[in-house]
């Protein structure tokens, strides 16, 4: 995949991995559009990066996704890359009655949104000489952590969906990538931290993004990054090891 001369839509682009991709693609010479729910962050990023195009959108809502796609296609018809990055990571204790709104929000954001957005752009992308869909899954797609089962299941779904999409688009100009991060030092997973602004540690974003961009550049279509490589290669063995190490108390009726 060429890293320059693209117009890229990145969901969940106001922080973490999404923002890192945005900054790297802009530095490589691509136009970048990011969307996110937090207007104050979008405004701050517009001031920091005047060349960055921003749009308020909650990808967990179908009407927002439709409006986003219509706006992008009308105002930036040169768009040729969709990076499905927005994600929610919550704790879920399935041994007690779950809060369905939390489960539904996680599934809608992590699975339904990439399906829907991809479908809204696919026919446009096949008209381009070069185009790509980049799905962000997770190392936990291959070896889940049992205390966040819905998140891990959604990322396993993203992996499966990416395989199917790649097959469906195999005779077109559209390349389909899956980037599977390890734990990366971002805000993701704040649901289980008392200080919601605290990151959870893990791979430094700068190290993750360098490896991820290199994978895209070299057309590595299924790209586990860092420790996710081990989760991808040794799934069942590492499942037992990981879940014996991580057995947190799961809160009941824990609000997001």
Sign of the C-alpha dihedral, residues 66, 72, 77, 79?
Answer: negative
Q: Is 151 one of the catalytic residues?
A: yes
First and final C-alpha spacing in the chain: 37
Q: How far apart are CA 8 and CA 31, in angstroms?
A: 6
Which two structure tokens, joined as six digits, stand for 191? 């649901």
Question: 229 is written with which tokens?
Answer: 């490589």
d(CA 119, CA 122): 5
Say if residues 200 and 183 touch (Cβ distance below 8 Å): yes
Distance between CA atoms of 55 and 143, rounded to whole angstroms? 34
* Catalytic residue from among 25, 121, 125, 151: 151
Active-site amino acid positions: 151
């Amino acid at each position: 995949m060429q890293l320059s001369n693209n117009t890229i839509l990145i969901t969940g682009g106001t922080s973490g991995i999404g923002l890192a991709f945005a900054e790297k693609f802009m530095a490589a010479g691509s136009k970048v559009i990011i969307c996110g729910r937090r207007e104050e962050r979008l405004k701050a990023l517009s001031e920091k990066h005047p060349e960055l195009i921003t749009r308020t959108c909650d990808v967990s809502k179908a009407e927002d996704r439709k409006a986003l796609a219509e706006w992008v296609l009308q105002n930036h018809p040169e768009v040729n890359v969709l990076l499905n990055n927005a994600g929610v990571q919550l704790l879920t204790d399935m041994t007690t009655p779950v809060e369905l709104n939390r489960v539904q929000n996680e599934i809608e954001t992590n699975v339904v949104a990439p399906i829907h957005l991809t479908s809204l752009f696919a026919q446009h992308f096949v008209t381009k000489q070069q185009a790509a869909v980049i799905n962000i899954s997770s190392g936990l797609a291959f070896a889940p952590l049992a205390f966040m089962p819905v998140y891990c299941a959604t990322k396993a779904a993203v992996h499966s969906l990416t395989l199917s999409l790649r097959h469906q688009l195999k005779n077109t100009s559209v390349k389909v990538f899956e980037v599977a991060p390890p734990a990366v030092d971002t805000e993701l997973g704040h649901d289980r931290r008392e200080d919601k602004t605290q990151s959870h540690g893990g791979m430094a974003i700068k190290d993750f993004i360098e490896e991820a961009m290199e994978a895209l550049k070299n057309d590595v279509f299924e790209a586990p990054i860092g420790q996710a490589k081990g989760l991808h290669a040794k799934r069942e063995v590492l499942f037992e090891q990981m879940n014996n190490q991580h057995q947190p108390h799961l809160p009941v009726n824990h609000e997001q």
